[in-house]
Amino acid sequence: MEQRTNSLLAVFGALLALAVNAPSISAEGPTEGTAVEQGIVEPLADADHFDATTISAALFTTCAISLDHVFCWGGNDEEKLGDGESPPVPDQSIPRGVALPGINLVASTESGVLAASDVTVGEENVCATSDGSAYCWGYHSWYGLGVSGWGACYPYTDCRSINFPTAPTTRPELATPFTNTGISRAVAGDYSSCALQEGVAFCWGDNYDLGSASLATPIPVAEPSNGFTNTAVTSIDVGYFHSCLVEGGSVYCWGQNDKGQLGDGTTTNSDTPVKVSVNTDEGFTNTNVAAVIVTYKSTCAIEAGSVYCWGSNGAGDLADGVGPPPAVGGISYSTLPLKVHDGPSFVNSNVSALSTDSYDSQICALREGVMYCWGYLAYDLDESGTAVPRKVKTGTDGFTNTAVTEMAVGYEHACAIELGLVYCWGENYLGQLGDGTIATRATPTKVIGRQDRTALTTEVVGSGSIDSTFDRLDCTGTCTNDVLAGTQITLEATPGSGQQFDGWSGACAGTDECVVEMTEARTVTATFSDVPMAEVDITLVVIGDGSLVLGDTTCESTCTVSVDSGSTQTITATASDGYTFTTWGGACSGTTACSVTPTASQVVTGKFSEIATDTENDTPTSGSDADTAAPATSGSLTVVVFGEGVVSVGGTECSSTCTIEVDIDSVQTLQTAPGEGYVFESWGGACSSRDVCEITMTSDTAVTARFLAATLPATGSSLPFGMFAVLLASIGALAALLTGRRTASSASR
Q: Is the dihedral of CA 741, 742, 745, 747 positive or negative?
A: negative
Residue 521, amino acid? A
CA atoms of 237 and 261, how far apart (whole Å): 13
More confident residue, 134 or 726: 134
pLDDT digits (tens, 9 = 90+) for 625-647: 434 455 668 888 888 888 899 99
Neighbours of 439 (CB within 10 A): 22
Answer whether residue 734 shows pLDDT above 50: no
Q: Would you kindly state where each structural domain of the chain is located, as residue ranges?
A: 40-167+399-451, 221-391, 453-530, 535-610+633-709
pLDDT digits (tens, 9 = 90+) for 59-74: 999 999 998 889 999 9
Answer whether residue 479 shows pLDDT above 90: yes
Answer whether residue 86 shows pLDDT above 90: no
Answer whether residue 539 shows pLDDT above 70: yes
Answer whether residue 179 shows pLDDT above 90: yes
In this prediction, residues 609-625 reach a mean pLDDT of: 62
Phi, psi of 291 (to 5 degrees): -155, 155
**The CATH number of domain 453-530 is 2.60.120:** no
Answer whether residue 235 shows pLDDT above 70: yes
In this prediction, residues 247-256 reach a mean pLDDT of: 96
> Domain 221-391 belongs to what architecture?
7 Propeller (2.130)
Q: Is the dihedral of CA 73, 76, 79, 85 positive or negative?
A: positive
In this prediction, residues 162-190 reach a mean pLDDT of: 85
221-391 with 453-530: one CATH topology?
no
In this prediction, residues 530-545 reach a mean pLDDT of: 87
Residue 112, amino acid? G
CA atoms of 30 and 618, how far apart (whole Å): 116
CA atoms of 741 and 749, how far apart (whole Å): 12
CA atoms of 366 and 406, how far apart (whole Å): 8
pLDDT digits (tens, 9 = 90+) for 387-439: 999 999 998 899 999 999 999 999 999 999 999 999 999 999 999 999 989 99
More confident residue, 620 or 331: 331
Answer whether residue 33 shows pLDDT above 70: no
Question: What is the bridge-based pairing of β-strands 133-139 and 161-166?
Answer: antiparallel
pLDDT digits (tens, 9 = 90+) for 96-135: 888 887 654 444 344 578 889 999 998 888 999 998 999 8
Q: What pLDDT does 480 receive?
A: 92
pLDDT digits (tens, 9 = 90+) for 351-368: 999 999 877 778 999 999
Q: Please list the helix, strand and coil fractions of the chain in percent, rounded to the nearest 5, in that order.
A: 10, 45, 45
Mean pLDDT of the chain: 81
Q: What pLDDT does 388 receive?
A: 94
| CA–CA–CA angle 222, 225, 227 (5° rounding) | 95
Most confident segment among 114-123, 281-290, 473-482: 281-290
In the sheet where 161-166 sits, what is the strand order? 118-121, 125-130, 133-139, 161-166
The pTM (predicted TM-score) of the whole model is 0.68
- In the chain, what percentage of residues exceed pLDDT 70? 79
